[in-house]
């Protein structure tokens, strides 16, 4: 017989919300979940391409027992994380997980998670993002939704820029105004995310308008967009032509969400021939340099000292996108490397230097080289560039070397279940392979908890000793400090 949940209520400025208590396995701590709390009005109708608008108060107790609607529609198959789509219009929601609901004196540190998905997909409703393990360790956890794809990031004449970014800001403002009621301390907020979510928190770190909303940043496999203005306008023009409407707010508002998504997917399809351009120029949709919220590319802002008072942890897996070309290994082995790498426009000297610096990868075959180059140009070089741009600002670097026994590589997203210490979560073994090591989850999660609580993850900072960092999951050790863990990307810098 299944026991009925024990409910718990919290008073927020907009109204009272009802969540549910649940046990945290392996501990005496109870955790409460509050799901689908709106932090802004539904972005539909006249608000579809508008900046987020404050939510209207509600008079009665609002149930926060089920996941709210998500901006993701259907399953686009973009991520390796179970990120369900929930139908509905009110997509700007927050999920709160806390061991101290209603205890305004608890003042626990707060982790705010921004999901990934290439800025076009993903969902805050993933069971992997449940914060119960962080709750067990004394951290309140929040996940937030935001508008995706063209609705969130497309350049539209007559509409505010970077609507998805404005959603992040609205969610973080909500945390500042509400989290004390859930036992959190608004003066101790760490923002974190993976992939596009990692790019999101780096974007926020370099954004002057966001500095008052958080106090530390943890970026997992951050994929920055920093879409150039001309690239944003060009994609908008392509969308308008595809849809047969003017490239204006009025024109795009006349088209259904379904038709916009269909056009977006058609214009964003990737293959090997276009991969080089995408890797070099970045994603067509995502946070754009608009001269308003995002004044300049993020690395430039960081180099000028924006966010220098905030500690940062960032890193990547060794083989982020290697699996994207893995199934073509038998064909790629016959293509000369110089020809295979031609779309990436490397000079002969850079290509030779890169291959010399990556001999263990070269030994694994041409597909491994192509996958590592994509990984390095999209993720690993960004780690080094960001750490160097920060100068003396407190910065720690890591890399994940744990190789999935299913993919035989340290693939994209593999760090997430270790970060959240949720190896018992659904379909984790589909990514990691069977029996992922709990000791690795203990180490990666403990570092995250330490950083959220103290601003130091527990290893030598890159800002103190350049090129230093830690590697997680490189046999035989679970965690090892190292120097030069990203040296193999140096020819690309």
Note whether 56 and 165 are within 8 A (CB).
no
Given a contact cutoff of 8 angstroms between Cβ atoms, the answer to whether 229 and 235 are in contact is no
**CB atoms inside a 10 Å sphere around CB 434:** 9
User: Which residues, at least 6 apart from 57, have a Cβ–Cβ distance to it below 8 Å?
Assistant: 13, 14, 15
The yes-or-no answer on residue 195 being catalytic is yes
Q: Residues 33, 161, 195, 221: which is the catalytic one?
A: 195
The strand ranges marked E within 71-207 are 93-98, 108-114, 140-144, 184-194
CA angle 379, 482, 112 (to 5 degrees): 50
Do 313 and 451 touch, CB atoms closer than 8 A?
Answer: yes
482 counts as catalytic: no
Alpha carbons 212 and 178: distance in angstroms, whole number: 15
In terms of C-beta density within 10 A (0-12 exposed, 13-18 middle, 19 or more buried), how is residue 225 classed? buried
Which of 31, 155, 320, 445 does the annotation list as catalytic? 320
CB 44 within 8 A of CB 378: no
Are residues 470 and 313 in contact, defined by beta-carbon separation less than 8 angstroms? no
> 359 CB contacts (<8 Å, ≥6 apart)?
none
Residue 114 burial (CB < 10 Å; 0-12/13-18/19+)? buried
Phi, psi of 265, rounded to the nearest 5 degrees: -65, -40
Q: Which single residue is written with the structure tokens 């993976």?
A: 194
Query: Which neighbouring-strand residues pair with 468?
Result: 483
The backbone region for 104, taken as left when phi is positive above 0, alpha when psi lies in -120 to 50, beta otherwise, is alpha
Q: Which of 232, 419, 233 is nearest to 314 (CA)?
A: 419
In sequence order, what E strands does 145-250 have? 184-194, 216-220
**Whats the size of the chain, residue-wise?**
493
Question: Pick the catalytic residue: 412, 445, 482, 488?
Answer: 412
Contact in structure between 156 and 236 (CB atoms under 8 Å): yes
Residue 164: CB atoms within 10 Å: 24
Which residues does the annotation mark as catalytic? 195, 320, 412
């Amino acid at each position: 017989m299944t026991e009925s949940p024990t409910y718990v209520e919290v008073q927020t400025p907009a109204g009272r919300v009802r969540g549910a208590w649940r046990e945290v396995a392996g501990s005496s701590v109870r955790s409460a979940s509050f799901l689908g709390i709106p932090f802004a009005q539904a972005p539909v109708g006249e608000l579809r391409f508008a900046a987020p608008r404050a939510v209207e108060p509600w008079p009665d107790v609002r149930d926060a027992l089920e996941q709210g609607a998500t901006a993701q529609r259907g399953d686009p198959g973009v991520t390796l994380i179970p990120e369900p789509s929930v139908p509905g219009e009110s997509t700007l929601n927050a999920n709160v997980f806390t061991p101290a609901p209603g205890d305004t004196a608890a003042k626990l540190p707060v982790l705010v998670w921004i999901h990934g998905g290439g800025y076009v997909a993903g969902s805050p409703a993933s069971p992997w993002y449940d914060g119960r393990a962080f709750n067990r360790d004394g951290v309140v956890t929040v996940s937030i939704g935001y508008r995706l794809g063209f609705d969130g990031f497309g350049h539209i004449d007559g509409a505010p820029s970077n609507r998805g970014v404005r959603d992040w800001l609205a969610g973080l403002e909500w945390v500042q105004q509400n989290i004390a009621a859930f036992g959190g301390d608004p003066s101790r907020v760490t923002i974190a995310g993976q992939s596009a979510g990692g790019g999101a928190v780096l974007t926020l770190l370099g954004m002057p308008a966001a500095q008052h909303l958080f106090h530390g940043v943890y970026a997992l496999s951050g994929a920055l967009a920093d879409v150039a203005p001309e690239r944003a306008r060009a994609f908008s023009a392509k969308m308008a032509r595809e849809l047969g409407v003017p490239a204006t707010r009025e024109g795009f508002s006349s088209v259904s969400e379904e038709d916009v998504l269909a056009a977006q997917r058609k214009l964003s399809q990737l293959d090997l021939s276009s991969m080089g351009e995408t890797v070099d120029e970045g994603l067509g949709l995502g946070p754009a340099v608009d001269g308003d919220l995002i004044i300049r590319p993020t690395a430039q802002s960081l180099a000028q000292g924006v966010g220098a008072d905030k500690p940062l942890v960032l890193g990547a897996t060794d083989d982020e996108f290697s699996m994207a070309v893995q199934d073509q290994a038998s064909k790629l082995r016959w293509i000369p490397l110089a020809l295979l790498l031609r779309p990436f426009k490397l000079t002969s000297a850079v290509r030779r230097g890169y291959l010399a610096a990556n001999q263990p990868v070269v030994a694994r075959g041409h597909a491994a080289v192509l996958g590592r180059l994509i990984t390095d140009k999209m993720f690993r070089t960004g780690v080094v560039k960001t750490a160097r741009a920060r100068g003396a600002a407190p910065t720690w670097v890591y890399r994940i070397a744990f190789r999935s026994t299913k993919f035989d590589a340290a693939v994209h997203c593999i760090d997430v279940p270790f970060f959240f210490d949720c190896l018992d979560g659904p379909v984790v073994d589909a990514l990691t392979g069977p029996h992922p090591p709990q000791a690795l989850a203990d180490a990666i999660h403990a570092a995250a908890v330490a950083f959220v609580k103290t601003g130091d993850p527990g290893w030598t900072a890159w800002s103190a000793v350049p090129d230093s960092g830690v590697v997680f999951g490189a046999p035989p050790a679970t965690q090892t400090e190292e120097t030069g863990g990203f040296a193999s990307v140096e020819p690309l810098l």
